[in-house]
Amino acid sequence: MADRQKAAVAALTQENGNGECADCGMENPEWASVSVGVFVCHRCAGVHRGIQGRVKSLVYDNWDNDSMQVMKALGNKKAKEKYEMCVPVYYKRPHSESVDVLRREWIEAKYERLEFTDPDKQESYNCQIKTGMLWKLGRDRKQFALRKFVLNRSTNKLVYYVNEDNGKPKAEADLDFLNAVFVPQKIGKSSGLQITYFRNGSTRNLYVYADESKEIVDWFTAIRAAKWERRRIAFPDRDLTQLAEDLTKDFLMEGWLYKMGPKSEPFRKRWFTLDRRKLMYLEEPLNAFAKGEVFIGHRDAGYSVNMGAAQEGDRGSNSQNANCCFGFTLHTPDRDFIMRAETQDDMEKWILALQKVIDLPLTTQDSKLAALLVPKKASNSFRLIKR
């Protein structure tokens, strides 16, 4: 009897959007929340359980007739119609690989706080001014301290203050050249967020987190909302969904590599981050400033990447090292960057990621970035900031 119900539930996953997790889109969900009538993946099921949802496994649990009937009557398609009536276009929906905070807040916002059935419930991120306290890592990387952050759409800036009563902001970030990326592992906090922005010709990194995951996701969403609003006004004829692309963008790659100095100096271990068309290398992963930043242009402008040391080859013993130990070379019009990965797998991933960027046509935003990184040269080139 119970087996028949279970088979009937399993059959439901073939229809009405039930074949993908209702919350993150992962294929073949093996769980269900009977409370709201959705089929979900195991990670999202954990969040549903956390909000007192009645969660059942399609594989391991027994199914009674009533629960089966609930799933039959509801399901992912109906739930989407009910709970996702007004999801803002700038809202970052989680995908199957998303960090836990994004997944958790999306599910809680959707089914518990009902943020997407009523636009009035979106004030904590869709606002002219957002103010609050966040834990920010000091520049010495020793400790986090609570800092007051203010996002102001009128000035298009995110600023923070060391002293709450002090009128002068410690730093001001222009939202047009700001990216925000969740990096929980790197920061060591589940809500760890890296905010990067341009300051005086180079990139500044801020590392922050909040005590509550809702707070950090609200900040993340507020940044996206402010950027989107500005684009919407600037380009009234553009498609709204298109304007919401790349409001923030996850790093394409991050990790340790060994980099040869410009004059065949020995290889040095550096933390590399590929942020859209910008390759940064830092002495330590949580540094405020990169040691250098390279703009990665299009292949037509002379950018390429290949396995092994530079083709000229005559760099002495170092090039030998690069060849033997997962070496690869990034060619730019001004300079070759010779790097070494720690494993074959890492090397392949880096080459693939760089190649993808090199193959992509430049956008208007890319050209602006190139101009910022290269104040005195033609765009499509790069500038190395030496510190």
| Beta carbon of residue 249, minimum distance to ligand NAG (angstroms, whole number) | 26
- Counting every residue written for the chain, the total comes to 387
Q: Which residues of 79-104 are buried (b: 16+ CB within 10 A; e: fewer)?
A: bbebbeeebbbbbbebeeebbbbbbb
Q: Is 165 in the site for ligand NAG (CB under 6 A)?
A: no
Sorted by sequence, the CB contacts under 8 Å of residue 3 that are 6+ apart come out as none
Q: Give 210's DSSP letter.
A: -
Nearer to ligand NAG, 155 or 344 (CB): 155
Residue 57, beta-bridge partner list: 31
Both tokens of residue 79?
């739930």
| Beta carbon of residue 266, minimum distance to ligand NAG (angstroms, whole number) | 27
| Beta carbon of residue 199, minimum distance to ligand NAG (angstroms, whole number) | 7
SS3 state of residue 286: coil
Q: Is 154 in the site for ligand NAG (CB under 6 A)?
A: yes
Nearer to ligand NAG, 66 or 237 (CB): 66
HSE, CB side, 13 Å, CA atoms: give it for residue 309.
Answer: 18
In angstroms and rounded to an integer, the radius of gyration of the C-alpha atoms of the chain is 24
Residue 291 CB neighbour total at 10 angstroms:
18
Q: Is 312 in the site for ligand NAG (CB under 6 A)?
A: no
Nearer to ligand NAG, 65 or 166 (CB): 65
Strand order through the sheet with 292-295: 292-295, 278-282, 267-275, 253-260, 336-340, 327-331, 304-307
3-state secondary structure 22-74: CCCCCECCCEEECCCCEEECHHHHHHHHHCCCCEEECCCCCCCHHHHHHHHHC
Q: Which of 11, 129, 162, 352 binds ligand NAG (CB under 6 A)?
A: 129
The window from 8-16, 112-120, 148-156, 174-182 that contacts ligand NAG (CB under 6 A) reads: 148-156
Nearer to ligand NAG, 10 or 352 (CB): 10
Q: Is 62 in the site for ligand NAG (CB under 6 A)?
A: no
Q: Is 363 in the site for ligand NAG (CB under 6 A)?
A: no
Whether 362 and 298 have beta carbons less than 8 Å apart is answered as: yes
| Beta carbon of residue 2, minimum distance to ligand NAG (angstroms, whole number) | 11
| Beta carbon of residue 348, minimum distance to ligand NAG (angstroms, whole number) | 37
Number of residues that bind ligand NAG (CB under 6 A): 9
Q: Which of 35, 152, 190, 264 binds ligand NAG (CB under 6 A)?
A: 152
The window from 62-70, 74-82, 239-247, 251-259 that contacts ligand NAG (CB under 6 A) reads: 62-70
| Beta carbon of residue 4, minimum distance to ligand NAG (angstroms, whole number) | 9
Nearer to ligand NAG, 28 or 155 (CB): 155
For the four alpha carbons of 90, 94, 99 and 105, in that order, the dihedral sign comes to positive
Q: Is 164 in the site for ligand NAG (CB under 6 A)?
A: no
Q: Which of 14, 52, 143, 200 binds ligand NAG (CB under 6 A)?
A: 200
Q: Which of 8, 150, 362, 374 binds ligand NAG (CB under 6 A)?
A: 150
For the four alpha carbons of 106, 112, 114 and 120, in that order, the dihedral sign comes to negative
Q: Is 376 in the site for ligand NAG (CB under 6 A)?
A: no
For the four alpha carbons of 135, 282, 274 and 188, in that order, the dihedral sign comes to negative
Beta strands at 292-295 and 327-331: parallel, antiparallel or unpaired: unpaired
- Which helix (H) or strand (E) segment holds residue 339: the answer is strand 336-340
The window from 64-72, 233-241, 263-271, 309-317 that contacts ligand NAG (CB under 6 A) reads: 64-72
| Beta carbon of residue 109, minimum distance to ligand NAG (angstroms, whole number) | 25
Q: Which of 14, 27, 52, 66 binds ligand NAG (CB under 6 A)?
A: 66
Q: Is 69 in the site for ligand NAG (CB under 6 A)?
A: yes
Q: Which amino acid is at 95?
A: H
| Beta carbon of residue 382, minimum distance to ligand NAG (angstroms, whole number) | 16
Q: Is 386 in the site for ligand NAG (CB under 6 A)?
A: no
Binding residues for ligand NAG, rule: CB under 6 A, are 65-66, 69, 129, 150, 152, 154-155, 200
